[in-house]
Amino acid sequence: MNFSWLVTMAWRDSRRSRSRLALFMSSIVLGIAALVGINSFGDNLARSIREQARELLGADLVLSSTQPFDPKLLPALQKLGQTRSDEASFASLVSFPRTQGVRLAQVRALGPGFPYYGDWETQPAAAGAQFKAGQSVGALVDDVLLAQFDARVGDSVKVGSLTVPIVGRVLKTPGQTGFSAAVAPKVFIPKNLLAATGLIRPGSRVQYRTYYRFAPGTDVAATIKPLESKLEASNIDSDTVASRQQQTGRAFQDLTRFLSLVAFVALLLGCVGVASAVNLYVQEKLASVAVLRCLGASGRQALLIYLIQTSGLGLLGAIIGAALGAVVQLVLPQVLGSFLPVTVSVAVSPAAVGLGLLTGLAMAVLFALLPLLAIRRVSPLRVLRASFEEDTATPDPLRGLVLAVVGLFIVGFAYAQTREWKQALGFGAGLLLALGALAGLGLGLRYQLRRYFPVGWSYVARQGLANLFRPQNQTVTLIISLGLGTFLLATLFLTQGLLLGRVQLSASGRQPNLVLFDIQTEQEKGVEQLLAKQAIPVMQRVPIVTMRLAAINRRTVGQLRKDTASGVPLFALTREYRVTYRDTLSASEKLVAGTPPRPAATPAACPACRSMPTTSSASSSSWVIR
């Protein structure tokens, strides 16, 4: 058992088959490249979120509420931190008088000082610094909003009753992605100009926030812990750097899971390629193994020669794949950059590279060992009788052990990607079921062809079909390889479709692509005439009423808040609701109890509707159009 002799024989034997072994190595290269590239990107994204968590939040602590803060809490809140900044944000239509452009935007009235971490990227660059210092007398507007209406710095923007000059174009806001800016563009105005807009009235939906900056090293969570009960009682939410980091990680959970699935599928396809390539390679090498046995080599020595050969190629393929994966990770941040709230700093992840090398070597050994086990049982008699195959056709007990190790490898790798045992075991069981079904299909095909062979067909057809069940056929191997590859790719594309379906806004001709809301009663006729003039169909009218709970089953909100055993969450008692009254259910609604609504010819036919408030501050409607 001279190891140097085994290595020499492995090297010499590979010289005539290196082009075929390239297929074996390419399967490993592609699988490991995808694995290392995606895992490196995931590590870089997690590290960037961790490092830039303060820039995502812009402060050490943010307190937010849909109502002005309780005056009784203000003395305690004013003692928090070294400095603080107040903000009131709400959705409103904004217009650009010069270009006559009008669009719904998010208006943020900010006090000086924010952001404490990170900076705006503005044009001109001084505009952001002046706004942060409280020296600005105008508005900062998102770049996408200015580009849409061909507006520029120096023009005016109208927010409610307030018209102010545009002093800067916002290219980037801390914690905001390019995609979110396109969906919900923002207009920043100084906090002292908020009252001049005339938009803060009873019934207005406003988000109030206060940003705090603490001294370096302060444990913010411990500082606000004594106030948690009072904050909860006043319906005030708190957000720290740690919680924002967790929220951002959860927000990209679907992305990271999908990328992990891509890496997993790429690896399994590589494993299928390895097993298929080595199986064909072994079938061609059986005669050479028989010659080695005649020259005195044992079955174990013959096995080790080819195992060293495949292991060396597997390690080389893993190294090349890890290098390619390091290049792939340079491309992913550029492709996904507009969807990410942080700037991903690209660096080679030692953990991802190490995992890739170990995985490449393991998959080369395990999936090559399955067909290589047959080499141990090759008889020297095969040199004289090429049809002698009883030595490799009988069951081998070691195959069961190797199959068990392969199963553990797949389940363990699935757990490493998902961090959930249920998903790992479920995927392993599904994969085993698919393998069993494909193997059964291949064996059944061979049996049926042998039993019901079409002897009356043409010579070409008979020869082609006979090769599916003749000795040395690869029917089961090819069906498993092609079927499993199709199964994995179909799983990947189905998952992609499900994820895209969750964010798809318009899927068919009957889906709306525009919603007009906050239409007051006196505005309905004018809006109807405008839409009719433009030949725009209205698909649905939805009345909307802003309300808060006053009582539940004759128990007031005050009584329910004091009753800790009521089981009603505090936020459900204090939040604002947007309710509607309709005489029909939409396609997305399901009646779970009670009687179905009866269509009413007019609102007067609905007693509950007549009791609804109809003032402009409390009631409005939304129109769904296409």
Give buried/exposed letters for 53-76 (b at 16+ CB in 10 A, else e). Answer: bbbbbbbbbbbbbeeebeeebeee
Whole-angstrom distance, CA of residue 136 vs CA of residue 132 = 8
Segment 13-41 mean pLDDT: 78
Q: Mean pLDDT check: name the lowest of 31-35, 187-191, 497-501, 568-572.
A: 497-501
Per-residue model confidence (pLDDT) at position 212: 92
Whether the predicted pLDDT of 545 surpasses 80:
yes
Cut 0.85: pTM above it: no
Q: What is the 3-state secondary structure (H, E, C) of 446-469?
A: HHHHHHCCCCCCCHHHHHHHHCCC
- Residues 323 and 263 grouped into a single domain: yes
Segment 220-245 mean pLDDT: 84
The answer to whether position 591 is within a domain reads: no
The answer to whether position 424 is within a domain reads: no
Half-sphere exposure (Cβ direction) of 589: Cα atoms closer than 13 Å:
9
Give yes or no for a contact between 505 and 617, defined as CB atoms under 8 angstroms apart. no
Provide CB contacts within 8 A for 10, sequence distance 6+. 305, 306, 308, 309, 312
- Residues 385 and 483 grouped into a single domain: no
Residue 251, helix vs strand vs coil: helix
Per-residue model confidence (pLDDT) at position 615: 33
Residue 433, helix vs strand vs coil: helix
Higher pLDDT, 303 or 96: 96
pLDDT in tens, 233-264: 788 888 888 887 777 766 666 666 677 777 77
Per-residue model confidence (pLDDT) at position 50: 76
The torsion of the CA quartet 242, 248, 251, 256, rounded to 10 degrees, works out to -100
Per-residue model confidence (pLDDT) at position 338: 60
Using the 3D structure, point to which of 250, 271, 298 is the last residue of a domain.
250
Q: Mean pLDDT check: name the lowest of 3-7, 212-216, 256-260.
A: 256-260
Longest CA–CA span in the chain (Å) reads: 102
Whole-angstrom distance, CA of residue 330 vs CA of residue 37 = 8
Residue type, 147: A
- Residues 226 and 105 grouped into a single domain: yes
Per-residue model confidence (pLDDT) at position 552: 87
- Residues 77 and 148 grouped into a single domain: yes
Whether the predicted pLDDT of 503 surpasses 90:
no
Q: Mind giving me the DSSP string for 318-335? A: HHHHHHHHHHHHHHHHHH
Q: Determine what percent of the chain is predicted with pLDDT higher than 70.
A: 85
pLDDT in tens, 378-422: 777 777 665 545 455 566 778 888 888 888 888 887 787 777 788
Give yes or no for a contact between 241 and 88, defined as CB atoms under 8 angstroms apart. no
- Residues 485 and 530 grouped into a single domain: no
The answer to whether position 426 is within a domain reads: no
Q: In which element (H, E) is residue 276 found?
A: helix 253-294
Per-residue model confidence (pLDDT) at position 613: 37
Q: Mind giving me the DSSP string for 207-250? A: EEEEEEE--TT--HHHHHGGGHHHHHHTT-EEEEHHHHHHHHHH
Higher pLDDT, 230 or 184: 230
Using the 3D structure, point to which of 458, 474, 502 is the last residue of a domain.
502
The answer to whether position 167 is within a domain reads: yes
The answer to whether position 383 is within a domain reads: yes
Using the 3D structure, point to which of 204, 220, 250 is the last residue of a domain.
250
Q: Mind giving me the DSSP string for 348-389? A: --HHHHHHHHHHHHHHHHHHHHHHHGGGGG--GGGGT-TT--
Per-residue model confidence (pLDDT) at position 255: 67
- Residues 19 and 163 grouped into a single domain: no
Q: Mean pLDDT check: name the lowest of 71-80, 103-112, 471-480, 530-539.
A: 471-480
Tokens of 597: 């609504």
Residue 553, helix vs strand vs coil: coil
Provide CB contacts within 8 A for 455, sequence distance 6+. 462
Pairing of strands 162-172, 83-96: unpaired
Provide CB contacts within 8 A for 493, sequence distance 6+. none
CB count, 10 Å around CB of 168?
Answer: 23
- Residues 9 and 117 grouped into a single domain: no
Whether the predicted pLDDT of 612 surpasses 50:
no
Helices marked H in 504-603: 524-533, 557-562, 570-574
Per-residue model confidence (pLDDT) at position 284: 76
- Residues 208 and 86 grouped into a single domain: yes
- Residues 238 and 317 grouped into a single domain: no
- Residues 209 and 159 grouped into a single domain: yes
pLDDT category at 156 given cuts 50, 70, 90 is: very high
Whether the predicted pLDDT of 443 surpasses 50:
yes
pLDDT category at 193 given cuts 50, 70, 90 is: very high
Tokens of 236: 């005030």
pLDDT category at 594 given cuts 50, 70, 90 is: confident
Residue type, 445: L
Whether the predicted pLDDT of 32 surpasses 70:
yes
pLDDT category at 140 given cuts 50, 70, 90 is: very high
Please work out, in degrees rounded to the nearest 5, the angle formed at the alpha carbon of residue 267 by the alpha carbons of 359 and 254.
110
Whether the predicted pLDDT of 588 surpasses 60:
yes
pLDDT in tens, 340-360: 666 777 777 888 888 888 888
Give yes or no for a contact between 178 and 194, defined as CB atoms under 8 angstroms apart. no
CB count, 10 Å around CB of 154?
Answer: 10
Q: Number of folded domains in the chain?
A: 4
Whether the predicted pLDDT of 372 surpasses 90:
no
Whether the predicted pLDDT of 617 surpasses 50:
no
Per-residue model confidence (pLDDT) at position 614: 35
Name the burial class of residue 148, with classes exposed (0-12), middle (13-18) and buried (19+) by CB atoms within 10 angstroms of its CB: middle
- Residues 88 and 212 grouped into a single domain: yes
Q: Mean pLDDT check: name the lowest of 268-282, 429-443, 452-466.
A: 268-282
Higher pLDDT, 252 or 282: 282
Q: Determine what percent of the chain is predicted with pLDDT higher than 90.
A: 9
The answer to whether position 329 is within a domain reads: yes
- Domain carrying residue 20: 3-51+253-419
Segment 301-328 mean pLDDT: 85
419: left (phi over 0), alpha (psi -120 to 50) or beta: left
Looking at every residue in the chain, the average pLDDT score rounds to 80
Residue 346, helix vs strand vs coil: coil
Name the burial class of residue 592, with classes exposed (0-12), middle (13-18) and buried (19+) by CB atoms within 10 angstroms of its CB: exposed
Segment 105-132 mean pLDDT: 87
Give the chain's length. Answer: 626
Pick from 217, 58, 240: nearest CA to 132: 58
Per-residue model confidence (pLDDT) at position 506: 46
Whether the predicted pLDDT of 157 surpasses 90:
yes
Segment 310-316 mean pLDDT: 84
The answer to whether position 82 is within a domain reads: yes
Whole-angstrom distance, CA of residue 289 vs CA of residue 282 = 9
Pairing of strands 186-190, 101-110: parallel
- Residues 229 and 108 grouped into a single domain: yes
The answer to whether position 509 is within a domain reads: no
